[in-house]
Structure 1
Amino acid sequence: MINQETLFTLFPNGKIRILPKKTVIATPHQKVTSIYWLLEGSIDHYVSLDKPKKNVLVNKTAEPMTCIGWNGLNAPGRFYHATVVGSKEAELYEVPMDQIEQYLDSNPDSAFLRDIGQRIYYQFGQALSRQIKQMEHEHLPTAPSTLEPYVISPEPDTEEMITLMRRSPFMEAFEDEDLRELAGHTVRREYEPGEEIYHQREPTPGFYILIQGEVTIERHQEGVRFKHRTLSTPGFVFGWSCPLEMPDVCNAMATHKCSVYMIPTEQLRAILKAKPALGIRFHRRLIWLLGNHLQASFTRSVYLSIHHDQLTIHNLIEGHKSKLQLSSPIYQVPHLLKEYVTKPIAYDILHQLNQKGNAAEKFIASISLQLLRHDEKELKFMQGLNRIYESVTENAETDPEALRKACSASTRQLFEPLEVKISGWEQLPKSAGHIFIYNHLLNDPNYTLPNGFQITLDSHFISSLILDATYNSPGIRTVRMSKGPEYGHQDYYERLGYINVFTQDSDNAPARREQAKKIFYEQATAHLKAGENVIISPEGTSYASEESPGPFKMGAFNLAYQNPEVCIVPIVLFNFDKRIPANTYYARILEPLKLHEKVENEKQLKPFVYEYQRTFAAEVEKIRRLSDEQKK
């Protein structure tokens, strides 16, 4: 790397600047007129937020020869963030941009630009290290992405490869002649999910271009696996340290089966050395790319600071507006993200720009989609809840059994992309016609439909993913009688043919309660004798996972006692009251009970239920501990 003495030799007309603490060296969107190298002292980097109005410290460095103003080497030639003297004073060497350009014109060797790239890459590693400490127990978005299919021949011609390269914001700045030169030295590689492509702290084998699949760029430090980026856009490049001749600060791992083109390290270096003009263009563009990734890491620091997805995106766009066209649809995104009904439009814009926008739009869209992955996952979840509701209320079918099957299919689709763990399948009776009890869990209020109705996740889960999956029938559930204004509840459950019961959340009408209790036993018995499973929450209301189970009422147990051939099949649930990001839903099927084998007469039933609730609670506690262990 270039040292201070060499810098003075290359640019003898540069000037030493000694600046006191808090001197502002650069401000966002300011035109870069000089590049500075830090000789002594330290500097702080801040991202200036528009909402709320404040500056967020995103990095500190005292590394000698740290470069400030590298943004001037690529259009639009403006600073991205604020840089301030952090130490009592700092000594810097200033070289005007015109002297830099004159040097590059007369010295086609790319070593100088490579050195600047190395300095940026070092800052990038620093920023990632700082974020890992900043995170502590934070979990950044890592939800699975939707992969874009990309078809290319197993042995493509050069034009196919150039078309792929053109999709990359990095490659789009090169002429066809440059791309042909690079394409002529690529080799194709295939990676399976979980396979490492290169390792942190080791030189990368080459410079990679993604064909299809998904690659995660992550850093391992202090026992933490920290995901910097997930790349799934065909044409995007990684292995950025390869042309810098430095060990990589991250691992690269295939998270889905993926195909890549690789330019082996030695061949890339040979090309850039043999063609100096290409070397200059390549390293200029690499500085642009590394700057973007440094900015992405700074954006993540903002995310960790303000804990607000939409404001982070707003400030990301504000910070890059000097690179955006006034007509860019990216400006609409923060406003569209504010409301549930307009969020799908926001994500459509982001996905379109990630594929077909200009370089600035692709960068902002890709970072935004990365940071918003949990939010987008929740949007899809809410859309899934809507589909469940409409599969019942908007269905032309009127037969309750057919509607229950439609509801089950939509529920299965809802849970398909989520982390679900079901154990105890071997406990299920071979045939249907039994009572299934479970600990009823609250719904998170964020999953309330626009009409105020909540799809009960736990009971729908049991119906679809356990009973329908095993017996080809979702079973019959007991549902509380709705209150007068709950039209969403009424429109939904009245079509499904379930058994209505009074709970503490129903209207208070004592006469109707007694009548409903009698009807419950009659209808439930009829369904059991017809070979249908009946699903009952013995608590009569819902609780948080940590407070579950509540006191058991006797209804389900009286019903089982009145039908000696029927088993009670307990199912323990956990986390169905939690929001879906980074959540695992647990269900454990327990050993079935035949009450006539547990009690000799009806008088013993209530004491048995009291004791069994303690057994059931112990099983809930086991799953709670399992859930806690999985989060560590």
Structure 2
Amino acid sequence: MDLSNYVSDLPFTQNAPQHVIQTLNELAQLKELNAGDMLAQQFEVGHSLYFLVSGEISISIPLQESGKSYHVGLINQSFAPIGWSAFRQPSRYATSFQATKASQLISWPISSLQKLLEQETDFADQFLSFVYRESLPVLTSIQNQTRPFFANESLAFEETRPLINPVIQKQSIKQTTAFLSDTAFCESFTQVELQAIAKQAGVILAHQGDILSQQDQAEDGLYFLVQGKAVVSYQTESGDIITTRTISRPGTVLAWCTTDEQQRNRATIISSRDSTVLFIPRLSLVNIFADMPKLALKYWYRLIWLVGTHLVSARMRYLSQIAGDEVLAVNSMIEQNAAVLPVSSPLYKVGSLLKNAVTTDEAFGVLYRCLHYGTRIERTVAGMSLDILKDLQRENAFYRKLANIYDSVNALPDEQSSIDVRRFGTEQFRQAFKQVPYIIKGMENLPKKPGSLFFYNHLLGSSSTQLANGFRYSLDAQFISSMVIYKQYGVAAQRVVRRSKEFEFWRDAYYERFGNVFVDSWSALTSGTEAHDQFIADGQTTLKAKTPLLISPEGKSFATDQSPGE
């Protein structure tokens, strides 16, 4: 079938030599799909690279664990490349592609195409730069759909400033070459090629809050993190600013550039602590590529790989939001890389460890060990997984603090007064609640004197905060006491607490350290009974001491949507 008309319409063939166009004509195939037809399935070996001629293709990610498939994008732009993830190892399609309407695509076998690109470097530059540029809108689309999320790293600095005309220091070519050779981005470069880049590289010392790269500004070079920490943020079309990554691993690409001086930065990179960055100016790279066209070809491949890794991470983050399950997204991330991960990799344990709050900390231990000491692919997967797990990581830090509070209170000397224990516990909980976002309103409506009764509707606790021995805090009461009452009066509140059930062996001993007022149940507090009289006397003693007293009148807890209960 003569496809020369299709081939000649493609943007990357406009200036191609006739013999290259002839080869493309001979290798080209036309694919026609009806609405509902599958073009390719996720994880299939990628034999062909497709370009959309007409129609529309849906992008989806099927998750084996849940049995569901999630829509993550649409391709309807003429000549858009499809299946370019197969350019990257392990040469598989990262997603599933399905026609939503009658569609036509032109394709080439990837192996034959790569041989042609190796032989024709000028054409390869046009072709790969086109694939790279057309891959960026796919990444932009998924990031624009992602909701902003709370990130402690975004609060790591009070002010930011552009890093204008920084001092660029030189270091030895040998040292720079060794550093570059250990980065994932440069893994396909030869020593000669690395040395050529190293000769043009310099070191920038960035301070906390320095903006290394500004979104929508002209690209000026290639940045690698040597030491320190940086935050990557992206402003969506709606104006929301999303913290997409926190980077601390040496050798990670922070920002990059192409030979096109019109290309703009995709994101803003801010140094969140004093950092050392390796920088190669764009013009220096352009000159190197002019002398080493084979390196230019490798560079385009690595840029496509880099966009692909960012796209996988962005899709998994988006998936964790629409599915409401970060662990599900991380399991999918690891599953997508199973073809290249060693079967002995500890990353395969992460999904199981994340399922229980008690073992979640071990999961993060595995991820951080792989991030810093694993193989290149383990470091990449661990880094992307940590980007997805920002909310769960925050929850885990909160959980660890809860466990630490429990052990710390029980370890206090027996002779320490209940007032001191309450103050200690309250201060510890104030630190714990720094890990979570919250809003407090209405402080002006509190009574002027601390010796008052504070009534609240008791909310049902989450199983995710239950400690290993079964103990579960009343976090609503702890929040009111530490973040409202203590902040207002500087006094730690007492609580009315029910007596423990037979199997709650840990509960009474813990709460007795705080000098709380105990009741068997609200129903037992019948007027005229000894229990009622004792409760009234204990409450009056607390209030006369100008100590706030917290009471949940329902006597039991309810889910938020069912509160107030009885």
Q: 1:38 to 1:29 in 2, by over 3 A?
A: same
Matched-pair identity in %: 24
- Of 41-50 and 467-476, the range deviating more from structure 2: 467-476
Task: Name the CA distance, whole Å, in 1 between partners of 2:321 and 2:185.
Answer: 27
Which residue of 248, 253, 257 maps to 1:237? 253
- Counterpart AA for 2:268: A
Which residue of 503, 512, 525 maps to 1:494? 512
Q: 1:532 to 1:418 in 2, by over 3 A?
A: same
CA contact (8 A) 1:124 1:297 kept: no
Q: TM-score, normalised by structure 2?
A: 0.79
Which residue in 1 is equivalent to 2:551?
Answer: 537
Q: 1:49 to 1:114 in 2, by over 3 A?
A: farther
Deviation (angstroms), 1:386: 2.0
CA contact (8 A) 2:124 2:297 kept: no
Q: For residues 98-131 of structure 1, give each alpha carbon's deviation from its aligned partner in whole angstroms, at most 9, with x where no partner exists.
A: 3532441x3444x624642543443342343256
- Counterpart AA for 1:355: H
Which residue of 48, 62, 82 maps to 1:48? 62
Which residue in 2 is equivalent to 1:264?
Answer: 281
Deviation (angstroms), 1:90: 0.8
Which residue of 130, 140, 144 maps to 1:132? 144
Which residue in 2 is equivalent to 1:558?
Answer: none
Task: Name the CA distance, whole Å, in 2 between partners of 1:427 and 1:24.
Answer: 61
Which residue in 2 is equivalent to 1:568?
Answer: none
- Paired residues in the alignment total 535
Q: 1:162 to 1:420 in 2, by over 3 A?
A: farther
Three-state SS of the structure 2 residue aligned to 1:3 is helix
- Of 321-330 and 453-462, the range deviating more from structure 2: 453-462
Deviation (angstroms), 1:199: 1.9
* Alignment pair present for 1:289 and 2:306: yes
Three-state SS of the structure 2 residue aligned to 1:218 is strand
* Alignment pair present for 1:399 and 2:416: yes
Task: Name the CA distance, whole Å, in 1 between partners of 2:564 and 2:83.
Answer: 60
- Of 338-347 and 402-411, the range deviating more from structure 2: 402-411
Which residue in 1 is equivalent to 2:81?
Answer: 67
Deviation (angstroms), 1:36: 3.6
* Alignment pair present for 1:13 and 2:23: yes
Three-state SS of the structure 1 residue aligned to 2:384 is helix
* Alignment pair present for 1:353 and 2:353: no
Which residue in 2 is equivalent to 1:381?
Answer: 398
* Alignment pair present for 1:205 and 2:236: no
Q: 1:362 to 1:160 in 2, by over 3 A?
A: same
Task: Name the CA distance, whole Å, in 2 between partners of 1:87 and 1:540.
Answer: 58
Task: Name the CA distance, whole Å, in 2 between partners of 1:464 and 1:60.
Answer: 49
Three-state SS of the structure 1 residue aligned to 2:236 is strand
Which residue in 1 is equivalent to 2:533?
Answer: 518
Deviation (angstroms), 1:71: 4.3
* Alignment pair present for 1:157 and 2:174: no
Q: 1:54 to 1:471 in 2, by over 3 A?
A: closer
CA contact (8 A) 2:372 2:379 kept: yes
Which residue of 302, 305, 311 maps to 2:328? 311
Which residue in 1 is equivalent to 2:186?
Answer: 171
Task: Name the CA distance, whole Å, in 1 between partners of 2:15 and 2:56.
Answer: 21
Q: 1:121 to 1:353 in 2, by over 3 A?
A: farther
Deviation (angstroms), 1:285: 1.7
Q: For residues 52-89 of structure 1, give each alpha carbon's deviation from its aligned partner in whole angstroms, at most 9, with x where no partner exists.
A: 33543333223333334544544333333333455413
Q: For residues 197-238 of structure 1, give each alpha carbon's deviation from its aligned partner in whole angstroms, at most 9, with x where no partner exists.
A: 3123x4223222233222223132134334443433332113
Q: 1:60 to 1:423 in 2, by over 3 A?
A: closer
CA contact (8 A) 1:20 1:85 kept: no
* Runs of 5+ consecutive residues of structure 1 not aligned to the other structure: 148-152, 552-632
Which residue in 1 is equivalent to 2:135?
Answer: 123
Which residue in 1 is equivalent to 2:434?
Answer: 416
Task: Name the CA distance, whole Å, in 1 between partners of 2:358 and 2:433.
Answer: 22
CA contact (8 A) 1:28 1:79 kept: yes
Task: Name the CA distance, whole Å, in 2 between partners of 1:142 and 1:95.
Answer: 43
Q: 1:476 to 1:163 in 2, by over 3 A?
A: farther
Three-state SS of the structure 2 residue aligned to 1:171 is coil
Q: TM-score, normalised by structure 1?
A: 0.72
Q: 1:209 to 1:122 in 2, by over 3 A?
A: same
Q: For residues 332-358 of structure 1, give each alpha carbon's deviation from its aligned partner in whole angstroms, at most 9, with x where no partner exists.
A: 211222222322222111122222323
CA contact (8 A) 1:502 1:513 kept: no
Three-state SS of the structure 2 residue aligned to 1:410 is helix
Task: Name the CA distance, whole Å, in 1 between partners of 2:17 and 2:63.
Answer: 37
* Alignment pair present for 1:77 and 2:94: no
Task: Name the CA distance, whole Å, in 1 between partners of 2:308 and 2:538.
Answer: 68
Three-state SS of the structure 2 residue aligned to 1:35 is strand
Q: 1:240 to 1:524 in 2, by over 3 A?
A: same
Deviation (angstroms), 1:473: 5.6
- Counterpart AA for 2:189: F
Deviation (angstroms), 1:279: 2.0
Which residue of 326, 329, 337 maps to 1:320? 337
Task: Name the CA distance, whole Å, in 1 between partners of 2:265 and 2:97.
Answer: 23
Task: Name the CA distance, whole Å, in 1 between partners of 2:335 and 2:451.
Answer: 60
Q: For residues 580-626 of structure 1, give each alpha carbon's deviation from its aligned partner in whole angstroms, at most 9, with x where no partner exists.
A: xxxxxxxxxxxxxxxxxxxxxxxxxxxxxxxxxxxxxxxxxxxxxxx
- Counterpart AA for 2:131: R
Task: Name the CA distance, whole Å, in 2 between partners of 1:472 and 1:366.
Answer: 42
Three-state SS of the structure 2 residue aligned to 1:47 is strand
Three-state SS of the structure 2 residue aligned to 1:125 is helix
CA contact (8 A) 2:46 2:93 kept: yes
Task: Name the CA distance, whole Å, in 2 between partners of 1:103 and 1:346.
Answer: 43
- Counterpart AA for 1:50: Q
* Alignment pair present for 1:474 and 2:492: yes
* Alignment pair present for 1:460 and 2:472: no
* Alignment pair present for 1:252 and 2:268: yes
CA contact (8 A) 1:121 1:290 kept: no
Deviation (angstroms), 1:146: 12
* Runs of 5+ consecutive residues of structure 2 not aligned to the other structure: 1-9, 157-166
Deviation (angstroms), 1:3: 3.0
CA contact (8 A) 2:142 2:314 kept: no
Which residue in 2 is equivalent to 1:215?
Answer: 231
Q: For residues 416-458 of structure 1, give each alpha carbon's deviation from its aligned partner in whole angstroms, at most 9, with x where no partner exists.
A: 333456688899999x973363545524323344555432234
CA contact (8 A) 2:461 2:475 kept: no
Task: Name the CA distance, whole Å, in 2 between partners of 1:46 and 1:545.
Answer: 34
- Of 357-366 and 8-17, the range deviating more from structure 2: 8-17
Task: Name the CA distance, whole Å, in 2 between partners of 1:513 and 1:318.
Answer: 66
CA contact (8 A) 1:475 1:532 kept: no
CA contact (8 A) 1:186 1:262 kept: yes
CA contact (8 A) 2:28 2:106 kept: yes
- Counterpart AA for 1:518: D
Deviation (angstroms), 1:92: 0.3
- Of 274-283 and 434-443, the range deviating more from structure 2: 434-443
- Of 397-406 and 317-326, the range deviating more from structure 2: 397-406
CA contact (8 A) 1:27 1:81 kept: yes
Q: 1:475 to 1:216 in 2, by over 3 A?
A: same
Q: For residues 250-284 of structure 1, give each alpha carbon's deviation from its aligned partner in whole angstroms, at most 9, with x where no partner exists.
A: 33142724533333322332232233233222222
Task: Name the CA distance, whole Å, in 2 between partners of 1:164 and 1:229.
Answer: 22
Which residue in 1 is equivalent to 2:407?
Answer: 390
1:550-569 matches, cutoff 5 A: none
Task: Name the CA distance, whole Å, in 2 between partners of 1:216 and 1:337.
Answer: 25
Task: Name the CA distance, whole Å, in 1 between partners of 2:324 and 2:480.
Answer: 34
Which residue of 192, 195, 201 maps to 1:185? 201
Task: Name the CA distance, whole Å, in 2 between partners of 1:228 and 1:237.
Answer: 14
Task: Name the CA distance, whole Å, in 2 between partners of 1:168 and 1:488.
Answer: 50
Which residue of 72, 81, 92 maps to 1:58? 72
Deviation (angstroms), 1:29: 3.8
